[in-house]
């Protein structure tokens, strides 16, 4: 397509994909799909203000019969606080070569040229956003180390602590950059990001490569201080939005509200101490019910944990009229239970660590920000996706989002720990 301009490419992109950009979000991004995105409705200046109830009405007066005119207790009205939420930016940059563009003279050929690149870019973006919704600003990061072994001067083999591994999270992260911190919050790789060189899902280890001094520091810290934490490069601290793990374990001020002052702003933790069973799920529900839960909840567990629960339910299943001597159809696409709160739905989530799970009413969570996942470059003419590379033979395209996760009723949420 000789003489192609960015305007031509933007037009072809819109014709080829129309409004499909949201449909390119991978199916495994369960939270992104389940939690509603809410745009500028609550924007106040540069921040988002979301009113939340932190104390219920308490202005009651009781009286016995024939008590005449009796005094009323003072009003004690419901109390609300504004959760102040800032949208955090995730931006992914990729590109398409002149050669690929040159073969694109209509919508179909253009789509053929960019489908592979766009599909992988969206899958990668969706993965990073989803991992952030789970573990953004988590004290444990993407996992904690049990040991670090020297492979070479520039490569170290890292083994994960019990319950900290998630094969589904790590498998696609080969080539990703990591920052590794000791348990005092001090960065161990000071020269640059450690790069994931290889992943062993059976041994639950990853090999990382980086500067000699950084590898030495990681091995030494693991041996002496123990339990270093992983973070995607550049995300530990103020640059990443807060996820469920941080919200469910918060005991201080979060989004401008102090959980030490308002107990309804503090979530719950429940130590399973073994295999996760229906009985343990019911116990966890009881913890949340005692603090006001009276609605349906969703539970996100590691696929291996989901398998254990599924196997438990198979053992309880009775044969009915669907039984056939020729073929037995068994297994489950979904797990749903009825409990004191209502319906409890369990989902296998590829990115949840093996030793934990998250239980909460999804409708009490919202993604707030100025932009959900978008291919339009902010601050440019509407519909601009591609820009010319100044020094290489191709075009750049970017995927962008500015949002944060807010859970409006932490008191009815539970993080389950100690699952084996």
Does the residue 75 lie in any domain?
no
Q: Give the C-alpha separation, 248 to 119, whole Å.
A: 33
CATH, residue 275: 3.30.2320.10
Q: What is the residue-level pLDDT of the chain in tens, covering all 420 positions?
A: 434 455 555 555 555 554 444 555 667 889 999 999 987 665 655 578 778 888 777 878 888 888 888 888 887 777 788 888 888 989 888 887 777 767 665 556 666 666 667 778 888 899 999 999 999 999 888 988 888 999 999 999 999 988 999 999 999 899 999 999 888 888 899 999 999 999 999 999 999 999 999 999 999 988 876 667 888 887 766 688 999 999 999 999 999 999 999 999 999 999 999 999 999 999 999 999 999 999 999 999 999 999 999 888 876 665 555 555 555 555 566 788 888 888 999 999 999 999 999 999 999 999 988 888 887 766 555 556 677 888 888 888 888 888 999 999 999 999 999 999
Does the residue 69 lie in any domain?
no
Does the residue 74 lie in any domain?
no
Does the residue 256 lie in any domain?
yes
Same-domain status, 182 and 224? yes
Same-domain status, 351 and 261? yes
pLDDT digits 0-9 by tens, 290-342? 999 999 999 999 999 999 998 888 766 655 555 555 555 555 667 888 888 88
Same-domain status, 413 and 299? yes
Strands 365-374 and 37-38: parallel
pLDDT digits 0-9 by tens, 28-83? 889 999 999 987 665 655 578 778 888 777 878 888 888 888 888 887 777 788 88
CB 373 within 8 A of CB 33: no
Residues recorded for the chain: 420
Q: Give the C-alpha separation, 102 to 4, whole Å.
A: 8
CB 376 within 8 A of CB 318: no
pLDDT value of position 400: 86
Q: Give the C-alpha separation, 364 to 156, whole Å.
A: 42
What's the total number of domains in the chain? 3
Q: Give the C-alpha separation, 226 to 144, whole Å.
A: 9
> For residue 328, with 0-12 CB atoms within 10 Å meaning exposed, 13-18 middle and 19 or more buried, which class applies?
exposed
Does the residue 64 lie in any domain?
no
Same-domain status, 267 and 413? yes
Does the residue 72 lie in any domain?
no
Where is the domain boundary, 202, 232, 262? 232
Same-domain status, 351 and 382? no
Does the residue 288 lie in any domain?
yes
Domain, as residue range, for 33 = 6-43+81-136+367-407
Closest of 312, 163, 160, 319 to residue 245, by C-alpha: 163
Same-domain status, 342 and 213? no
Same-domain status, 188 and 253? no
Secondary element (H or E) of residue 169: helix 167-170
pLDDT value of position 50: 78
Does the residue 374 lie in any domain?
yes
pTM assigned to the model: 0.86
Question: How many other CB atoms are found less than 10 A from the CB of residue 256?
Answer: 12
């Amino acid at each position: 397509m000789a003489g192609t301009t960015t305007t031509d490419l933007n037009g072809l992109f819109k014709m080829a994909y129309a409004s499909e950009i949201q449909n390119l979000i991978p199916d495994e991004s369960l939270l992104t799909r389940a939690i509603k995105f809410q745009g500028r409705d609550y924007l106040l200046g540069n921040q988002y203000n979301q009113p939340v109830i932190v104390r219920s009405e308490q202005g009651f007066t009781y009286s016995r019969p024939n008590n005449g005119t009796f005094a009323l207790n003072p009003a004690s009205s419901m109390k609300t606080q504004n959760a102040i939420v800032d949208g955090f930016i995730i931006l992914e940059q990729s590109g398409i070569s002149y050669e690929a563009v040159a073969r694109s003279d209509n919508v179909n050929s253009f789509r053929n040229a960019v489908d592979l690149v766009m599909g992988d870019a969206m899958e990668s973006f969706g993965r990073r956003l989803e991992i952030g919704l789970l573990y953004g600003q988590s004290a444990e990061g993407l996992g904690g180390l049990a040991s670090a072994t020297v492979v070479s001067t520039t490569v170290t083999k890292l083994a994960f602590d019990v319950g900290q591994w998630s094969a589904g999270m790590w498998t696609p992260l080969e080539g990703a950059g990591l920052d590794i911190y000791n348990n005092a919050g001090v960065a161990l790789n000071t020269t640059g990001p450690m790069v994931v060189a290889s992943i062993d899902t059976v041994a639950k280890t990853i090999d990382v490569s980086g500067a000699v001094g950084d590898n030495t520091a990681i091995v030494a810290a693991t041996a002496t201080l123990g339990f270093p934490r992983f973070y995607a490069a550049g995300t530990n601290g103020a640059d990443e939005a807060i996820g469920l793990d941080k919200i469910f374990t918060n005991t201080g001020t979060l989004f401008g509200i102090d959980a030490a002052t308002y107990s309804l702003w503090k979530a719950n933790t429940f130590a399973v101490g073994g295999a996760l069973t229906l009985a343990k799920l019911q116990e966890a529900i009881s913890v949340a019910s005692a603090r006001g839960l009276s609605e349906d909840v969703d539970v996100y567990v590691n696929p291996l944990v989901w398998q254990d629960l599924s196997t438990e339910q198979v053992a309880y299943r009775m044969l009915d009229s669907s039984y056939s001597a020729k073929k037995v159809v068994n297994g489950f696409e979904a797990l749903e239970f009825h409990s004191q709160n209502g319906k409890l739905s369990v989902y296998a989530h590829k990115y949840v660590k093996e030793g934990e799970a998250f239980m909460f009413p999804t409708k009490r969570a919202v993604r707030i920000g100025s932009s959900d996942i978008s291919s339009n470059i902010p601050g440019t003419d509407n519909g601009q996706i591609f820009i010319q590379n100044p020094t290489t033979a191709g075009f750049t395209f970017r995927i962008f989002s500015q949002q944060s996760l807010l859970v409006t009723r932490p008191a009815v949420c539970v993080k389950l720990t100690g699952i084996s």
